Amino acid sequence: MKPKQRTKLFERLRDAIPAPSSELKYNSHYELLVAVVLSAQATDISVNRATKTLFPQANTPEAMIALGVKRLKGHIKAIGLYNSKAKHIIKLSQLLIERHQSKVPASRKELEALPGVGRKTANVILNTAFGKPTIAVDTHLFRVSNRTGLAPGKDVREVEDQLMKRVPDEFKMGAHHWLILHGRYTCTARKPRCRSCTIQELCQFQEKQINPNQGE
């Protein structure tokens, strides 16, 4: 995909969603961190359902530690890997108190030193909480980047590196949210909605379905 096409692609996505944002529900950097840790291999819907009851009881590191692992598990047991996630959340809460005055750090190194926080989670926090031009690559971004020809790559790190090189600077802040929403609702894994896609003619997906007889 050529530079002018990439610019046009993001202009289209921006026109469709002028102010993209996370679908996770949170009211602080700490709540966002907990929600993103919970979202690994889980849907935002399931995370929001869990945090709706969790956050009124524990929305600070101190309150989370007071809640304890057992009661935390009770709130998040419908989410995959809840046992390990509960342990990670309690431990990272302890480290936030000990090392960061109960605040979520704004550096990649310090974020990735927290239990349950890898590169993707750190990228989400840096972008969403601290306004840094990072791009977290999940399954949706990986699929969209490869399908469209925007930033092909064999693994998530290669796709991330390609996106950081290819996404025009003016769109880097919103790129993560635009692409994840596009992958979630339009460029879906099965039966992508090519006919209603705003970037249809820019997309290099060889199997795109634009004929009315091909489905949606």
Q: Is residue 44 part of a domain?
A: yes
CATH code of the domain covering residue 101: 1.10.340.30
Residue with tokens 């990670």: 88
Q: Is residue 165 part of a domain?
A: yes
- Closest to 94 measured CA to CA, from 79, 118, 73, 115: 115
Domain shared by 37 and 116, yes or no: yes
Q: Is residue 8 part of a domain?
A: yes
CATH code of the domain covering residue 160: 1.10.1670.10
Which residues form the catalytic set? 120, 138
Amino acid letter at 157? R
- Closest to 38 measured CA to CA, from 3, 12, 10, 64: 64
Tens place of pLDDT for every residue, the chain, 216 residues? 899 999 999 999 999 999 998 999 999 999 999 999 999 989 999 999 999 999 999 999 999 999 999 999 999 999 999 999 999 999 999 999 999 999 999 999 999 999 999 999 999 999 999 999 999 999 999 999 999 999 999 999 999 999 999 999 999 999 999 999 999 999 999 999 999 999 999 999 988 666 655 444
pLDDT of residue 210: 65
Residue 83 has a CB neighbour count (10 Å cut-off) of 11
CA distance 26 to 159: 28
pLDDT of residue 206: 82
Total of domains in the chain = 2
Domain span at residue 92 reads 29-128
Of 70, 103, 128, which residue sits at a domain end?
128
Token pair of 174 as six digits: 């919103």
Residue 8 has a CB neighbour count (10 Å cut-off) of 15
pTM of the model: 0.89
